[in-house]
Amino acid sequence: MATIKQVAAYCRVSTLEQKEKGLGMDIQVRDVTSFAEGQHLAINRFYRDEAQSGAAENRKQLQKLLRACQRGEIGAVVIPTIDRLSRNVRIAENLFHQFAELGINVLIADMPNYDGKNRRDVLLRQIREAIAEENRKEIIERLWKGRQERVRKGNAPGGNVPYGYRRDGKQWIVDSEESDIVRTIYRLSDSGCLVPEISASLNQNGSVRRNGLPWNARQVHDILSRRDLYAKGFITYGEIAGSNEKLVLLGRGRD
């Protein structure tokens, strides 16, 4: 008995794009569902990659979709837009090639008349792929410049918050419990204790890391490598540096 092939939808949103208007996962699901209904198709499976870059190839749900296609379970794939499949021309072209080799019909919601066998449609698709790649580069450049400017003003660049602080909106502020541990680590180091001895001492006193796990030498070393931040409030992002006295944890009678 022949396997009845299904219609799948693939949606993706990256960390950079999650706050961008019109790119949310719910909007994408709505768009592909509405498009499929207009084509008299019912979507049987949704594959959703969240917080995944469009320049990444090994996305969990995308790979799961490809494996289903290789098993012959999928007959058509619906995507909301080209850039949801990828924001990299090479990756996008490789994916379209794989789908074609497997006999998968790719439908694009915002290109309702797209025909993968039509050269003009393929050319238009490739132009859109190039635009999507360029847009991604612009997003990254804006983020990079924005972070640089924040650092110049002595503000946090974003990303992970160093131990000893916590996030308050877009800013870092001193965390009272963690900052005490940071001071203890520097006090022990300045008194001559080796890194393994410091981690052992913290664990013996019942201190745990932010994730609740015991301290180890690597974590202690990471904190000791940030003396400029803890002692002077220096913040760096690439080659850009700034300072914020409110972030100073060491010195001035604090340690």
CATH 3.90.1750.20 residue ranges in the chain? 154-247
Least confident of 18-27, 91-100, 120-129, 179-188: 18-27
The CA distance from 181 to 223, in Å, is: 10
Residue given tokens 């944890």 in the structure block: 249
CATH 3.40.50.1390 residue ranges in the chain? 6-141
pLDDT score of 211 more than 70: yes
| The CATH number of domain 154-247, selected from 3.90.1750.20, 3.40.47.10, 3.30.1160.10, 3.90.550.10 | 3.90.1750.20
Whether the model clears a pTM of 0.85, i.e. scores above it, the answer is no
pLDDT score of 93 more than 60: yes
CATH number attached to the domain at 6-141: 3.40.50.1390
Local confidence band at 54 (pLDDT 50, 70, 90 cut-offs) = confident
pLDDT value, residue 158: 78
pLDDT value, residue 23: 64
What is the distance between the terminal CA atoms of the chain, rounded to a whole angstrom?
76
Determine the average pLDDT of the residues in 227-251.
Answer: 90
Determine the average pLDDT of the residues in 206-212.
Answer: 90
Half-sphere exposure of 63 (CA within 13 A, CB side): 6
